[in-house]
């Protein structure tokens, strides 16, 4: 994925709480390739990377299985960036 403007970088960026550990290049310089190898998290994981844990008073195994199934099925409703509508940027007045 190649970024053409700063707006596109901010569109796909994540919040960084410790900004002092991130080196930001001047606007005239390009970012290094090894920094821009961004892969969506959902493409790096699979169903085999999921785990569940039940402790305490879980009434029955069937309740636990139903809750696990509901949690996994909700991951299919997650809207990834490749499914977003095209964003049209306009200049502010």
Half-sphere exposure of 61 (CA within 13 A, CB side): 0
Q: What's the pLDDT tens digit per position in 65-86?
A: 888 888 888 877 777 777 788 8
Q: What's the pLDDT tens digit per position in 43-59?
A: 666 666 666 666 666 66
Distance, CA of 59 to chain centre: 34
Band of the pLDDT at 34, cuts 50, 70, 90? very low
Whether the model pTM is above 0.75: no
DSSP, residue by residue, 6-75: HHHHHHT----S-GGGS----TTSPPPTTT-----HHHH--GGG------S----HHHHHHHHHHHHHHG
CB distance 25 to 31 below 8 Å:
yes
């Amino acid at each position: 994925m190649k970024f053409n403007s700063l707006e596109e970088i901010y569109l796909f960026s994540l919040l960084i709480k410790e900004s002092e550990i991130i080196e930001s290049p001047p606007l005239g310089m390009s970012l290094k390739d090894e920094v821009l190898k961004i892969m969506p998290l959902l493409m790096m994981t699979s169903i085999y990377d999921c785990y569940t844990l039940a402790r305490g008073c879980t009434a029955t195994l069937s309740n636990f299985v139903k809750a696990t199934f509901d949690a996994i099925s909700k991951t299919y409703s997650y809207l990834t960036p490749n499914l977003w509508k095209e964003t049209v940027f306009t200049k502010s007045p």
